[in-house]
Amino acid sequence: MNCSISGEVPEDPVVSKKSGLLFEKRLIETHIADYGKCPITGEPLTLDDLVPIKTGKIVKPRPVQAASIPGMLGMFQNEWDGLMLSNFALEQQLHTARQELSHALYQHDAACRVIARLKKERDEARSLLATAERPFPVSANAIPANVSGLSNGKRAAEDDEMAHGGKKMHPGITSAIISELTDCNAALSQQRKKRQISTTLAPVESIEAYTQISSHPFHKTNKPGIISLDILYSKDLIATGGIDMNAVIFDRPSGQILSTLSGHSKKVTSVKFVAQGESLLTSSADKTVRVWQGSEDGNYNCKHILRDHTAEVQAVTVHATNNYFVTASLDGTWCFYDLSSGTCLTQVADTSGSSEGYTSAAFHPDGLIIGTGTTDALVKIWDVKNQSNVAKFDGHTGSVTAISFSENGYFLATAAHDGVKLWDLRKLKNFRNFAPYDSETPTNSVEFDHSGSYLAVAGSDIRIYQVANVKSEWNCIKTFPDLSGTGKVTCVKFGPDSKYIAVGSMDRNLRIFGQPSEDTPTES
C-alpha cells in the first residue's frame, strides 16, 4: 500500500483511526503539527489518532521508467523542463518587481520635484509679501548729513538701504541724458575712424613668449573660485570677484592687495571699474549691486546698495561717459543707472513675452547699443535711447556666458557651452565659430583686448587669437594651460597694451601671464 500523501510505499507506516488512511509517519506528523487536521478528509486529527503498523522490511520497487535508458532520459527531460519552467517563473517575478520598483522611484522623484517647486513658490510669495509690507522709504532730507559708510563695506550706509528699500517709480532716460549719450557716440565714432594701433601694443612675437610670471592667492580657501575680474588701465589695478562673497582690489605693479570689499551675502558675479574716478561696481547672486567709492587712504566705502532686481544679478557694464551703467539679471530685466546718485532710471524687460534671464551684458564702445546674453542661448542687441530690442542672434547651445565688443565697433564675440561665435554687426550675421573644447567643456569667457587686435578665449585653458577681418583666418597664436588644476578658467582680461594677461580660475589664485622682467613682482 502507498502513502496517501506521497503516493510512495511508506518506510514507517501509520494509519488514521478516524479515516483508516495510510500515511508515512514523518509526513503526517509534520502536517498535523502545521495544520492539525487530516490532509485528505480535512477532519481534525491529532498524533493520538495515529496507529503505527508493524511490517517487514520493505523493498521499494524500482520505477518502471528507471528500468531502461530511454525511461531514465525521459525522467531527466521532465525534471529539466520543470526546472526551466520554474526559472522562467522566477524571471517573470523579478521583472515585475523591477517594474514596480522603477514606478515607485519615478513617483518619488516626481513628488520631490513638486515639493521643491511648491517650496520655491512659497518662498517667492513670502518675499513678495515682505516687500509689500516694507515701510515707505524715508526721505533723504530726514537723514543726518554727517552719517557716512565705513571702509570695505563692513557696515553699509543705513540711509542707502532705506532709500532703496521699497519699490520706486523709475524716472526714465531723459532727453538730456539721451543728448549726452548721442554726443559721446558721435565723438567716439569720429575718433574711431582716425584710430591707429598704439605703437606700444605688445606684438604677436611677445605674446607667443608669454608665460606665468606671478600667482596671487586672494580669496578664502573654504569657498575657492574667482569668477569675475576687471582692470583699471590708468592705475594698473585689478579687481576680482569670488565665490567667497568678497571682491579684492590688487595693485599689480607693487603686488599688494589694496582692499578687500565685504558686504555681499552670496558670490560676486561681476566687477567693473569706472574708468574715471575711484569707483568700483560689484554685482552678486544676492540680487543686489553695490557701488564702492575709493578714498584717500586706499579703502573703498559702500556708497550705494541697489535692490531693483528680483533674481541673481549676473553682469554689470559701464557706459563710455563713465556716468551711467547697466546691470543684467536672471529676472529677465536690465536696469540703466545713474552712477553718481545710484538711481535706476529705467528697468527694461523683453516685451515679446519670453521668460529667459540675462547671463551677460556689455556696452558697445560707442555707447548707444548694448548686448545681452540669455539663458536660452540668445544674444539680444538693444537700442539704449528707446530701450528697444533691435536684433537677435541665435545659434548657441546653452546660456551665453560672456559678450565682448571689439574696439573697431563692428565685431561682437559671444561665448556659450558650444564655444565662441563672431558676429558682424554691419550685416547682423555670424561669420566665424571657434569650438576649442570638447562637448562637455563650456567656454566661460571671451574678451577682445583694448585695441581690438587680440581675442582671448577661456574654458579648460586660455587661447589667444589674432584678430583678422571677416574673410581672413583668425590664427591661434598662443595657448596657456590652466595651472589651477581645476580645469575651469572662468575669466580672462588683457592688461594695458596687452603687456600681460590676467586669468581667474576656480581656485583662489589670480594668475598673471606675460614676459618676465626685472621689475616683475614676485609670486605671492
3-state SS, 72-92, equals HHHHHHHHHHHHHHHHHHHHH
Pairwise CA distance, residues 123 & 265, whole Å: 18
Letter string b/e over residues 111-134, b meaning 16 or more CB atoms within 10 A of that residue's CB: eeeeeeeeeeeeeeeeeeeeeeee
Distance CA 486, CA 460 (A): 8
Q: Judge contact between 52 and 11, C-beta under 8 A.
A: no
User: What residues have CB less than 8 Å from 8, skipping those under 6 apart?
Assistant: 2, 24, 60
DSSP class of residue 236 equals T
Question: What's residue 353's pLDDT?
Answer: 67
**What residues form DSSP beta bridges with 271?**
282
Q: What is the pLDDT along the chain (524 residues), one digit of tens a residue?
A: 788 888 888 888 999 999 999 999 999 999 999 899 999 998 999 999 999 988 776 566 666 667 788 888 888 888 898 899 989 899 999 999 999 999 999 999 999 999 999 999 998 888 888 877 655 444 434 333 333 333 344 344 444 444 444 456 788 899 999 999 999 988 888 887 777 888 889 999 999 999 999 999 888 878 888 999 999 998 899 999 999 999 999 999 998 898 899 999 999 999 999 987 789 999 999 999 999 988 877 788 899 999 999 999 999 999 999 999 999 999 999 999 999 999 999 999 887 767 789 999 999 998 899 999 999 989 999 999 998 989 999 989 989 999 999 988 889 999 999 999 999 998 889 999 999 898 888 999 999 998 889 999 999 999 999 998 888 889 999 999 988 888 889 999 999 999 999 999 988 889 999 988 744 554 44
Sign of CA dihedral 357, 360, 364, 368: positive
**Phi, psi for 296 (deg, rounded to 5):** -65, -25
Q: Could you tell me which of 281, 386, 395, 376 has the C-alpha nearest to residue 338?
A: 281
Architecture of domain 1-60: 2-Layer Sandwich (3.30)
CA 162 to chain centre: 32
pLDDT of residue 1: 76
What distance separates the 2 farthest-apart alpha carbons in the chain? 127
pLDDT reported for residue 161: 41
Domain boundaries, the chain: 1-60, 175-193+201-514
pLDDT at 46: 92
pLDDT of amino acid 59: 62
Task: Please give the span between the terminal C-alpha atoms of the chain, in angstroms, as a whole number.
Answer: 101
Fold of 175-193+201-514: Methylamine Dehydrogenase; Chain H (2.130.10)
Residue 366 neighbours by CB under 8 Å, 6+ apart? 184, 185, 188, 189, 192, 320, 409
Question: pTM for the complete prediction?
Answer: 0.67
Beginning with the edge strand found earlier in the chain, give each strand of the sheet holding 489-494 in spatial order.
Answer: 211-217, 509-514, 500-505, 489-494
